[in-house]
Structures are given as C-alpha cells and as structure tokens.
C-alpha cells in the first residue's frame, strides 16, 4: 500500500491553500504549451459519440486552489477546440475527477470550489500509481507537481547492512551512488505503474499532461535549489539531534520520498511503456516568471505547507515550530546558493498522447 503524504489542509497560516504560489507559477508557465497541444493534437474526431460527456482527471489535486485554475484552463482549451471545428454540441458536458490520497483534505477542496464552474465535480480518493477508473474512460489526464512524490521510501535506505543505508542524511542530495540508485529504482517502479494504469484508462487519442519537479540530464541534484533546500532541512535535523531534541536514530530513519527525474529518464520510461507518443517534453526555468522579491519566510512557509505533515508524523508535534524557525535561519545563510541555482530549469513538463 503506498504511503500517504498529504499537504497541510484547511485554510490556515501554514496551509497549502495559502502557500502554493510556486506551483501556481509553474502551472501558468505551462498553460500556453498545454493549450497549444490541445488545439493541435487532441483527437476529438476519434472519440466515441456514445456519450456527450468529456471526462478529465486531475491526479494529485491536493486541496486547491491551483487545481481549479488548471481545470478551467483545460476546459477552455477543449471547448475552443470543439468550437473551432464546428463540433461544439458533440460534448455538451464536462466531468472533472479530482484525485488524491484518501488522507487529502477533500472537505477543503470541495468547499473552496468555484460556485460557477463549467463542469460536474467528482472526488476520487486513492493512489494514482494504480488503477482509478474503468478502461477507456477518461479523455484527458492532468498531474501537476505530484509525481515527484514516491509511493514509498526505498527500503534499502533503512537497512544498516545495505550500501544504500542513508545514515545522517534525509535525501539523495549529496548521498552515495547506492542511495541515488535506490531512489531512481523506486521512481522507475512507481512510474511504470502510473503509465500502465493510465494506458488502460485513457481513450485512444486522449492526452495526458505531467508537470513535475525535474533535473537536467546528468546534473547532480545538489546543484539545484530544491537540493540545497533539502540540505538545509537535513542540517537542522542533525543540529537538533546533537542538541538532544531528537535522537540520532530518528534522523537516520527519516528520508524524504521525493525524486526529480531527468528528461532522459522520462523519455525512456514512456518509450518502454509503448502506449504513448511524446508530443512535448520541456525542462523550463519557471523562476523567470516567479515573484522576484525573494521572500525567505514565504519560501519556508511553502516548504512547511508541503512537508510539515511527513515531518510531524515521524518526529512528533513538539519540534515543529522550532524546526521551521531553525530552517528559516539556515535558508538565510544559504540563500545566495539557492538564488544562483535558479538559472537551471527544474520544471519538467510532458505532454503524452494515447496511441
């Protein structure tokens, strides 16, 4: 059973709802590419005329609000496609299936949903690394900033007898080759399951958009902003262990289940699956479109919204506020490194078409 890593729910100070600006920026960067691909590549003439519903799935939707923006953008582009071909009446209705783990805060998702929306909304709890829908059911699949979450931490990282034992580290950033390989193998296994499931669920000619954290081919993750941030998290936890606030064993047994694939890795996985054609694949620097203020506290709040639940689950409630205050200080000291790393593209956008 895949592990669950929910974003902070609700609408409070540390919630994902209030601290997902970077994801919003990334979605906006990819908007034009997605709309263009729908206009040029979506095979609407091949879809069955047995139903007048166009079905869209958003996998890893979290709690909003970014999922609502994404779904509206997709619906607008599909509607324009039908209108431009004189087929506006063929699909009179849209259905959107919002998927995330069953621990996701679906209450916040649905209570914050736009009242006026051009689709019927459905919640679908469950892991997207397996089947979620009937065969040949959905016409369009979207997954934004979700596939970098592994289904589980690689088991080798916790085995003291394994060369991949990740003692004193919490990620593959600056770790041994054995640790990097263990992460890569877990991502490969997860992605194979994801592609196999979507190949069954998507209709022929349907499309899938994947936006995720990425890494340039051959570049160590430690050279990227996220890698530097993970080093900061690691340093704070080790300092707290040295100070007696945590045990060394607690740190040694904690690893972030996050992996950023390269374009080469994604290409090989898709080609090996054999059911999709790659219509677009780009590694972009979303930071060129982001807020240039460099607000350090906002940056740490963003990290807290995404990682607090997994840190709290492992280390308990008592350390949380202290930990994130330490992280803010650590990020201030490393911010020049983080800023210089923004030159590299770290948003991987992939558009696939079901053969």
Residue 172: both structure tokens together? 């593959």
How many domains, in total, are found in the chain? 1
Give the pLDDT band of residue 294 (cuts 50, 70, 90).
low
208 within a domain of the structure (yes/no) = yes
- Asked whether residue 11 is domain-assigned, the answer is no
pLDDT digits (tens, 9 = 90+) for 27-63: 998 999 999 999 999 988 888 666 789 999 999 999 9
pLDDT of residue 292: 43
End-to-end CA distance of the chain: 30
CATH number of the domain where residue 239 is located: 3.40.50.150
Helix 263-273 and helix 177-201, axial crossing angle in degrees, nearest 10? 40
Rounded to whole angstroms, how far apart are CA atoms 125 and 132? 9
- Domain annotation covers residue 39: yes
Of 14-18, 106-110, 314-318, least confident by mean pLDDT is: 14-18
In a domain, 221, yes or no: yes
- pTM given for the model: 0.95
- Report the distance separating Cα 97 and Cα 6, nearest Å: 18
Bridge partner residues of 211 (DSSP): 144, 349
Share the mean pLDDT of the chain: 92
Which percentage of the chain shows pLDDT scores above 70? 94
Dihedrals phi, psi of 122, to nearest 5 degrees: -135, 135
User: Is 113 a residue whose pLDDT tops 90?
Assistant: yes
Residue 8 lies in a domain: no
CA 159, CA 161: separation in Å to the nearest integer? 5
Q: pLDDT tier at 286 (50, 70, 90 boundaries)?
A: low
Burial class (CB in 10 A: 0-12, 13-18, 19+), 286: buried
Question: Is position 329 within any domain?
Answer: yes
Examine residue 215 and state whether it is found in any structural domain, yes or no.
yes
Q: How many CA atoms lie within 13 A of 83 on its CB side?
A: 6
Domain assignment of residue 338, given as a range: 16-354
Report if residue 3 sits inside a domain. Answer: no
């Amino acid at each position: 059973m895949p592990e669950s890593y929910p974003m902070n729910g609700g609408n409070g100070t540390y919630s994902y709802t209030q601290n997902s600006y970077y994801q919003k920026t990334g979605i906006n960067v990819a908007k034009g590419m997605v709309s263009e691909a729908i206009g040029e590549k979506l095979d609407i003439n091949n879809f069955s005329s047995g139903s007048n519903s166009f079905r869209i799935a958003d996998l890893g939707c979290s709690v909003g609000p970014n999922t609502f923006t994404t779904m509206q953008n997709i619906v607008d582009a599909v509607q324009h496609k039908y209108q431009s071909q004189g087929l506006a009446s063929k699909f009179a209705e849209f259905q959107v299936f919002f998927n995330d783990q069953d621990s996701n805060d679906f209450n916040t998702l649905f209570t914050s949903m736009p009242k006026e929306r051009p689709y019927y909304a459905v919640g679908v709890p469950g892991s997207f690394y397996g089947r979620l829908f009937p065969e040949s059911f959905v016409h369009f699949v979207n997954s934004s900033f979700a596939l970098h979450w592994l289904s589980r931490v690689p088991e080798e990282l916790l085995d003291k007898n394994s060369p991949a034992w990740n003692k004193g580290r919490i990620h593959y950033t600056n770790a041994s080759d054995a640790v990097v390989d263990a992460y890569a193998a877990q991502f490969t296994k997860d992605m194979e399951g994801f592609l196999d499931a979507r190949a069954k669920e998507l209709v022929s000619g349907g499309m899938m958009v994947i936006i995720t954290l990425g890494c340039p081919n051959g570049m160590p993750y430690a050279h990227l902003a996220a890698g530097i941030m993970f080093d900061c998290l690691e340093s704070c936890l080790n300092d707290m262990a040295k100070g007696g606030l945590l045990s060394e064993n607690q740190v040694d047994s904690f690893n972030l289940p996050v992996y950023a694939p390269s374009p080469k890795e994604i290409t090989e996985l898709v080609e090996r699956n054999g059911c999709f054609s790659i219509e677009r694949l780009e590694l972009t620097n979303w930071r060129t479109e982001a807020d240039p203020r460099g607000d350090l506290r906002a940056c740490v709040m963003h990290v807290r919204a995404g990682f607090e639940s997994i840190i709290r689950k492992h280390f308990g409630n008592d350390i949380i506020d202290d930990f994130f205050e330490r992280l803010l200080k650590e990020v201030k000291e490393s911010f020049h490194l983080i800023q210089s790393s923004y030159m590299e593209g770290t948003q991987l956008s992939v558009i696939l078409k079901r053969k």
